[in-house]
Chain A
Amino acid sequence: SQQGEEDPQALSIQEGENATMNCSYKTSINNLQWYRQNSGRGLVHLILIRSNEREKHSGRLRVTLDTSKKSSSLLITASRAADTASYFCACGSSNTGKLIFGQGTTLQVKP
């Protein structure tokens, strides 16, 4: 499968703690993207990291990419209750030009 696979499937932390989610993939990629989905809503694009980049920051988000291990991680620092959502990685396949989504990590941040 070319799909990204997220780990863990579910994560529960206290407000203020950091949350780390991991994504592994099998295909050759142009970029890797992270999305957030609130319950019952559409996905919202968070951040894109290109295959020639190793780390990228956006506010409280930090994304790393290791193309040799075919893995990426999303770190949310100083989490808030409002960060409670599902987070998906999506691989931009260099073969097909399409995005291939993982199964997601469900994050619960307790106030």
Chain B
Amino acid sequence: SQTIHQWPATLVQPVGSPLSLECTVEGTSNPNLYWYRQAAGRGLQLLFYSVGIGQISSEVPQNLSASRPQDRQFILSSKKLLLSDSGFYLCAWSSEVRNQPQHFGDGTRLSIL
């Protein structure tokens, strides 16, 4: 069966520090991968999605970047965090067919001080 792992679960970082959040998927190949941010009590904002190794699409201009160095690995990064980067970050995968159900990790709660 397929599983998705996302870590860390919580992270407290100072303003201006770098960021690296990692997400890995097991049990499937060539998945579509997604990074979302969720503000408190709000819906999900799609940040990046990837349909293959090295293929990244950015949805909104921001202080973050994403990379996909391996088929089932998706990394969210920042060189210098801003206060506005605080939030709940969720990684998800779906099959490569359009509009299929997405399967989510348990998220990372990021607090910027």
Contacts and interface: CB of A to CB of B under 8 A. Distances in A.
Nearest to A41: B106
Given A102-B43, A103-B42, A93 B99 contact: yes
Contacts, number: 50
A42 B106 contact: yes
Nearest to B39: A103
For chain B, which range describes its interface: under 10, 10 to 19, 20 to 34, or 35 or more residues?
Answer: 20 to 34
B99 A99 contact: yes
Interface string B93-109: 00000110111111101
Nearest to B94: A99
A43 interface: yes
Interface of A: 3, 30-31, 33, 40-45, 48, 88, 90, 92-94, 97-99, 101-104, 106
Lowest 6 A-B CB distances belong to which pairs? A92-B99, A42-B104, A97-B98, A45-B101, A103-B43, A101-B44
